[in-house]
Amino acid sequence: MPSFDVVSEIDIQEVKNAVDQASREITTRFDFKNTDSSIVFNENDLLITLASSTPDRLKAVMTVLEERLVKRSVSLKALDRQKVEDASKGTVRQAIRLVSGLDGDRAKQVTQAIKAMGMKGIQAQIQGDQVRVTGKKRDDLQAVMGQLKEQVADIPLQFVNFRD
């Protein structure tokens, strides 16, 4: 039986490269001079911390980071932006969590979306942090992929391990 896996993964190396590029750009751009703007990536916690002197400059730092992430093919849906906080010396900071993997609720959301399609012979099983979709026909599985892209728009989905 043909099958594929639905996963939500991010390439940590690409995120690292994007953060490095954005950080370099911030240090060289004139409009960020004397704003104490910075971007720090904590790989262990999958957390990016942005800091700047004003909320407006923080938004500009976020824009630079988003541009770099998009150029590196990292989905912006994987970013979970936290609230902007006041930091020391009158500065502001914002934490951004990277969402990786399908947790229980999101996996249920994917399986419910597949069941709601009402296609015969299509089954979905939650296996850890991924969902295995099996069916009798390859065309049905490809239709499921297309509909999942449309219906589950709040998380980045990848379809891997396609087998005939």
Q: Which residues pair with 40 in a beta bridge?
A: 49
- Give pLDDT, residue 139: 87
Query: How much is the pTM?
Result: 0.82
Can you tell me which residue has the tokens 């954005």?
Answer: 22
At residue 34's C-alpha, the angle toward residues 31 and 39, to 5°, is 80
Q: Can you count the helices (H) and strands (E) in the chain?
A: 4, 9
Q: Per-residue pLDDT tens for 104-145?
A: 888 888 888 888 888 888 888 888 888 999 988 888 888 888
- Nearest Cα neighbor of 139 from 113, 112, 164 is 164
Residues lower than pLDDT 50 in the chain: none
> Can you list the domains of the chain with their CATH numbers?
3-8+101-163 (3.30.70.860), 12-98 (3.30.70.990)
- Nearest Cα neighbor of 100 from 3, 1, 15 is 15
| 22 vs 115: CA distance, rounded Å | 41
Q: 5, 161 in Cβ contact below 8 A? A: yes
